[in-house]
Amino acid sequence: MSSSPEKKRNKKRSPSGANNSFANLVANAANKQLADHVEQRMGQYAQAILQNLSKLTLDHLANIQTRHLAIEEIMIKSGTVSREQINNEITNQEDTALGYIEVDAAAEGDLVRVEVESKAADEAQYSEKEKLRINSLLREVDGAVQTLKEIETAMVGMKKDEIKDITIKGEGEDKDSNIRVTIKKVSRKKAEEKKDGTQA
């Protein structure tokens, strides 16, 4: 006796189930689009806030600097202090913050503050003095032009207020140059003390 074949039952999705799936897809897409939009807007707001803060900070610093300059000029004109005294105090405060102390003569690695004048060898007068700060003598000139190496090498051993004329040979058709260097201050990193009191 043969059994009748079983009829395959096809499950049909209910209209409500299809609608729910479609609604979920639409909702997910909308949420993603909204999230992207919110993220973009938040990024724009954050950037705008940072720009405003930066501008406010720069304006505030500029205002402070202007006030300091005004106070300095008033003190100098009143004879309370000289410009040189103010500059010396500024460098002292910088050295203290960096952990440096003033030393007698310049050596490799020292922080050196100098005034530099320059002219062509056949000219009579030097240019106006330029104040320069060399953060680490002869240690930051790798790959630099030969002129800088020659000038910094000539500074080794120089003392405060010492003046040295340096001649830089011109290459090809270039004229020789005369560089006049005046050492204003030489500072060196403080030696760290070990626990036993000796210096490292």
pTM: 0.61
Q: Count Cβ atoms below 10 Å from residue 22 Cβ, excluding itself.
A: 10
* Beta bridge mates, 115: 131, 182
Hey, what CATH class is 100-189 in? alpha beta
Please tell me the predicted confidence (pLDDT) of residue 38.
Answer: 66
Please tell me the predicted confidence (pLDDT) of residue 131.
Answer: 93
Please tell me the predicted confidence (pLDDT) of residue 62.
Answer: 83
Please tell me the predicted confidence (pLDDT) of residue 189.
Answer: 95
Q: Which residue positions in the chain have pLDDT lower than 70?
A: 1-38, 141-145, 192-200
Q: Output the CA torsion sign for 98, 85, 127, 104.
A: negative
The full DSSP string for the chain is -PPPPPPPPPPPPPHHHHHHHHHHHHHHHHHHHHHHHHHHHHHHHHHHHHHHHHHHHHHHHHHHHHHHHHHHHHHHHTTSS-HHHHHHHHHHHHHHHHTEEE-SB--TT-EEEEEEEEEETT-SSPPPPEEEEESSTTTS-TT--HHHHHHHHHHTT-BTT-EEEEEEPPPTTPPPEEEEEEEEEEEEEPPPBPTTS-B-
Please tell me the predicted confidence (pLDDT) of residue 34.
Answer: 67
Please tell me the predicted confidence (pLDDT) of residue 178.
Answer: 94
Enter the tokens of residue 34: 């909204």
